[in-house]
Structure 1
Amino acid sequence: MLSKLTFATLALAGAASAAVSNGGLKILAPGGDGLWWIAAQQNNVVWTCGESTFPQFTILINNSDTSLLTAITPLIAVEQNYNCNQGIASNLITQPVGTGYTIVLADILNSTNIYAVSDPFEIKALSAGYPPTSNTPVDQASATVSKGTSSNVVGQTGSPTGAGSGSPPAKTGGAPSLRSSSITAGALVGVAAAVAALL
């Protein structure tokens, strides 16, 4: 059973509000006016791995506008904090162009236990191009986060493409291993029920 506080947190995850963070975990990108995603393309999530006390978490996307996204949607079932960033493959970016999206980092066993929520961001058309890499904040407590292109992608290989001058930020120091994303049916049902109760 979800608490009223959890419902409020999930609702805020899609609203225009300041980023939520716990245990030193904060989402650096995407979020805000200068850090958007490109529809149906590879995009990155970057977080403060150097300050976080959480060893792993689930990555989800949310939007309070149900005409854009009907339910909070899992993207990565289990993400290791030490990765500092994760590329999300284009086949997982199926959300339509629009504003008010947020990334939610949650407990892998109980996705209603939310660790961090990004600032709201926009998913733009391919013609917008990626945001400039200089827009991405750097995690000062970790030397592993830098700006540049990414090969750390779940679900596909290759670099992101886009019309803009920027590209998603990347982790330095060796090529990361690629993995596929899998979410259990039970987890999806639980998240869907939680969102349905909000409506």
Structure 2
Amino acid sequence: MKRKTKRIIPQATQDDTEDTVRGYLHQDLLLRCDCKGLNRTIGFKWQITMKKEFCYLNSSSGDNTCTRPIETFKNVNIDNCSIRLTNITEEDNGTYVCLFTSKIYTRNIVHLKVNMTSLPPDSTTSNPVPGPSTSTGARTWVYFPTIAIAAVLLLFGCILTVLCKQRRNLPWMEMNQEYTSWNLRRSLCKEEKEMTFINDEHDGKP
């Protein structure tokens, strides 16, 4: 009797990305992690190795062992696993690893280098905090009511113009009808007189 062997399903390939981000002292800094197709049951996790601290935060369990404030965007967009560090200092230098599973297990590795000079006041941050996206379809929905209202107003204007023209032409049409009716009566009277004259001649009346 043959024994059934358990089939081993191979794990999905791990996909790693690695980047270095430079920030300025006291700057708010965004560390991006795009996790589209995230397995929401497992969630995502950040493992952080800073200058004097190792900590992690886990979105599924809500655990956060980091002592410094770290903001996530999971309540705004589940496919955005980015984090934001406010008022960064030298202590924030280190390696930040975003781990999540979608179709494959992925690690986004970010090495943070903090410049010990403050951000120039006339400069803007190179990675602003992600907000709601403005797509072409959304702009279309914004423009569509405006176009519809303009079309209705244009149609109303055309109808009003036609009615005004008809109203201005009405007295002239009535006058033409009266004039035509008067001419018709005049022609009938003239024909009647001519017929009377012919009959009188035929009867021999002077």
Q: Is the structural similarity TM-score above 0.5?
A: no
More helix by share: 2
**What TM-score do you get using the length of structure 1 for normalisation?**
0.35
- Larger RCO: 1 or 2 (CA < 8 Å, sep 6+): 1
